[in-house]
Amino acid sequence: MSIITLITDFGIEDAYVGVMKGVALSINSSATFVDITHHVNPQDIVQAAYLIKSSYKYFPEGTVHMIVVDPGVGSERPIIALEMKGQFFLAPDNGVLTLLMDEGKIDSLARVENKRFFLKTISQTFHGRDIFAPVSANISKGIKIKELGPPLDRQELVHLTIQKPYTSKQGELVGTVVSIDHFGNITTNIDEPCLKKFYITNQVKKLEIFIGKNRIKGLSNSYSSVKRHHPLAIIGSFGYLEIALNQGNAGRYFEAKKGDTIFIKDLQEIHREE
């Protein structure tokens, strides 16, 4: 079975996604498509970078992942294909694979230039249909990465400067809001290993999480650990610290937006300050 996944910012109101699938099926009629999401915020490369890093590991070897969040479509920006951990990734060279490539060794990497695998007519505005879809279908049929174009070194690629959590001079763990889902759950860039390291460094079992002027005490084991419409902090399903509201919308409750700062403090230190 050939699996092709899609991450785009196209939405589902228009024909873009369907047409891409049609092109790919014309080349590999046995392909199975998985829509990871088509609701990346428009042109939000960082959000897409977190999504592909969090999602790919749940798919079997041989899966082809298309990431079409491409503000530079029609420009001179390259399209890249890489093989890593038995899976294949096709994306614009705009940094969207930055976090993914930090996950481990790249087995094969190429600039996609071989027009034999493109549609005959290339639009300046829809490379998803004319390049990404046919190339992904060909990869799913067994075409090797090296056949798509000249090899690349990872150092030649665009790398995003994505802010990582850090410890401030005051001993706080500082992170940022990465995304807010349709439930209103607020996902941060603080992952579980980072949080555990902070636990060890501070030698405390209880923490307080600050978002704006609001304070949440400790981590919960489930959304229902607090009363209805009460806020909580939890490690979400993709392994990142999440701020939620039991049966409510935390994004609206906290008036949160992407890029907002999150602070985590040692509970004992806070009480000493007070």
- In 56-67, which positions are buried (b, 16+ CB within 10 angstroms) versus exposed (e)? beebeeebbbbb
What is the structure's pLDDT at 200? 64
Q: Quick one: which H or E segment has residue 187?
A: strand 186-191
**Nearest residue to 97 (alpha-carbon basis) of 128, 129, 69:** 69
108 shares its domain with 79: yes
What is the structure's pLDDT at 270? 41
| Residue 51 maps to a domain | yes
| Residue 161 maps to a domain | no
* Final residue before a domain boundary, out of 136, 156, 176: 156
pLDDT beyond 50 at 269: no
As beta bridge partners, residue 244 has 232
| Residue 198 maps to a domain | yes
Q: What is the mean pLDDT of residues 163-183?
A: 91
9 shares its domain with 134: yes
What is the structure's pLDDT at 274? 44
Show the beta-strand stretches assigned E in 38-163.
64-68, 79-84, 87-92, 108-111
53 shares its domain with 89: yes
| Residue 257 maps to a domain | yes
**Residue predicted with more confidence, 105 or 33:** 33
* Final residue before a domain boundary, out of 130, 156, 182: 156
139 shares its domain with 177: no
173 shares its domain with 86: no
Show the beta-strand stretches assigned E in 76-136.
79-84, 87-92, 108-111
CATH number for the domain harbouring residue 237: 2.40.30.90
Q: What is the mean pLDDT of residues 155-173?
A: 90
**Nearest residue to 180 (alpha-carbon basis) of 113, 264, 244, 263:** 244
What is the structure's pLDDT at 196? 83
62 shares its domain with 178: no
Q: How far is CA 133 from CA 25, 147, 205, in A?
A: 9, 16, 49
pLDDT beyond 70 at 204: no
Q: How many domains are contained in the chain?
A: 2
| Residue 87 maps to a domain | yes
179 shares its domain with 150: no
Q: What is the mean pLDDT of residues 145-156?
A: 95
Mean pLDDT (the chain) is: 91
49 shares its domain with 150: yes
What is the structure's pLDDT at 267? 57
| Residue 139 maps to a domain | yes
pLDDT beyond 70 at 110: yes
Domain residues for the domain of 180 are 166-273
| Residue 219 maps to a domain | yes
Are the C-beta atoms of 100 and 83 separated by less than 8 Å?
Answer: no
Q: What is the pTM of this model?
A: 0.88
* Final residue before a domain boundary, out of 88, 123, 156: 156
CATH number for the domain harbouring residue 20: 3.40.50.10790
Q: What is the mean pLDDT of residues 213-236?
A: 91
94 shares its domain with 150: yes
133 shares its domain with 183: no
207 shares its domain with 151: no
pLDDT beyond 80 at 203: no
- The amino acid at 27: I
What is the structure's pLDDT at 126? 96
| Residue 216 maps to a domain | yes
24 shares its domain with 105: yes
How open is the CA angle 71-83-33, to the nearest 5 degrees?
65
**Tens digits of residue pLDDT in 28-84:** 999 999 999 999 999 999 999 999 999 999 999 999 999 999 999 988 899 999 999
